[in-house]
Amino acid sequence: MKWIGLIAVVLTGALLLSAVGDFPDFGDPKSPANGGVGDFSVSQYYITHTEQDTKVPNVVTAVLADYRGYDTMFETTVIFIAGIGIIAILRSHPPGGRRGPAHPIDATVDGDHQRIIIGITCRIMIPIIQIFALYVVAHGHHSPGGGFQGGVMLGASFILIGLSRDLQAALARFSERRFIVLACLGVAIYAGFGLLCLLLERNFLDYGVLDGFFHTDPVMARSHGIFAVEVGVAFTVTAIMFAIYANLSSKGRLDEGL
């Protein structure tokens, strides 16, 4: 079984490497992406048409979530699969059964400083970090940012609860059930908007057709579609960030954590 896997990996790798020779040179101004084929250039099109196509000032966001939305959907799915893989591996066979903490905690070492200094700082910082994370998600159109970055920070704020108290306090707010549901929901939102476009007889993830759904014109609908998709990405990234921390820090037992 191991050998079959190895052969598959080597064959795929060789196949991919053999295609490298056909790529344009690095930074070649005449490559299809830069110079274009004939008089049509991809990057020129993005730079000149993004504003009138989608009303999104930030070209990168438009390319990421609209023009190449298919790619980003599977990036989100990769994150989702990574998280689910970690949960599946660690939760199914936690070392030493489900009893007892992973790291025995010595109360005399802790003193009062953990509770006072780190606890109070984190208590004050966490809501501020959360509002900043939501700000990053919401302003993906205007500033660099969006679902991935905001999701990482929102997940980090929950990790901070786990660091300043213990994992139980964090799990009380964001339980295992909730983070798995939220991770699935994020991917479902992204794929669901794509499917909605498909049902309305347009291409997958072609948000322009959703103008009836958002009660706007087709251009604004693309802008809103990008935002909705970013929210889905943020859901998945938040949930998976916290799920990975919770499982790795407690070795899959979800009891005391670090």
What whole-number distance in Å separates Cα of residue 180 and Cα of residue 165?
22
What whole-number distance in Å separates Cα of residue 164 and Cα of residue 120?
8
**Does residue 46 belong to the site contacting other proteins (CB under 8 A)?**
no
Cβ closer to other proteins: 18 or 108? Answer: 108
**Does residue 173 belong to the site contacting other proteins (CB under 8 A)?**
yes
Is residue 256 a contact partner of residue 101, using CB atoms and an 8 Å limit?
yes
What whole-number distance in Å separates Cα of residue 206 and Cα of residue 69?
9
Instruction: Out of 30, 49, 98, 123, name the contact with other proteins by CB under 8 A.
Output: 123
What whole-number distance in Å separates Cα of residue 14 and Cα of residue 9?
9
**Does residue 178 belong to the site contacting other proteins (CB under 8 A)?**
no
Neighbours of 53 (CB within 10 A): 18
Instruction: Out of 124, 177, 199, 201, name the contact with other proteins by CB under 8 A.
Output: 124
What whole-number distance in Å separates Cα of residue 258 and Cα of residue 256?
7
Residues 6+ apart with CB under 8 A from 117: none
**Does residue 128 belong to the site contacting other proteins (CB under 8 A)?**
yes
**Does residue 103 belong to the site contacting other proteins (CB under 8 A)?**
yes
**Does residue 132 belong to the site contacting other proteins (CB under 8 A)?**
yes
Cβ closer to other proteins: 77 or 130? Answer: 130
**Does residue 96 belong to the site contacting other proteins (CB under 8 A)?**
no
Interface residue list for other proteins (CB under 8 A): 103, 105-106, 108-109, 111-113, 115-118, 120-132, 134-136, 138-139, 142-145, 149, 152-153, 156, 159-160, 163-164, 173, 258
